[in-house]
A = this chain, B = another copy of it.
Amino acid sequence: MNSISSVSETNSLFLKSKGIKPSYQRLKIYSFLIENRIHPTVDIIYKNLCSEIPTLSKTTVYNTLNLFIQKKLIQKLIIEETETRYDINTSMHGHFKCEKCGEVCDIFLDDDVLLSKKLQNFKINETHIYFKGLCKKCSAIA
């Protein structure tokens, strides 16, 4: 077994362990998310995979991502009204979106924000923290 098929086999077993039937398309979408930590949109995933999977549709990408969310494999990022992104890293962390280059990067903050007394008696299921502005690169150019 070569390393590519080994990775694919590992991903396949992982999806199965989460109750997801590892179809070819689902495996390809999952691998894309693992290998491209760019918080992609449905469109980005579709554009990157459609030549390799000619039968792929945006609806399939969308439905697969929703299945992954339901099984808590990924999380949804809503930073803009018109743009939903997806993140394979479901641990608590924030994001920064550059208003110039459009890149979304991870910001790992201290957990203190989660421990606020103001949130006592609330049952928190999701925490989202994001910043908008200019990233390091674009700040340096501006």
Contact = CB atoms under 8 A, between A and B. Distances in A.
Contact of A136 (B122, B132, B135): B122
A31 B113 CA distance: 33
B116 A109 contact: yes
Q: For this complex, into which size category does the number of interface residues on chain A fall?
A: 35 or more
Q: How many copies does the complex hold?
A: 2
Contacts of A116: 107, 109-110
A135 to B, nearest CB: 6
Contacts of A126: 131-133
Contacts of A139: 121-123
Interface string A7-34: 0000000000000000000000000000
A8 B92 CA distance: 45
Contacts of A132: 124-126, 128
A73 interface: no
B123 A134 contact: yes
Given A80-B78, A81-B84, A122 B113 contact: no
B119 A127 contact: no
Contacts of A99: 125
A112 interface: yes
List of 4 A-B pairs having minimum Cβ-Cβ separation, nearest first: A123-B134, A125-B133, A126-B132, A124-B133
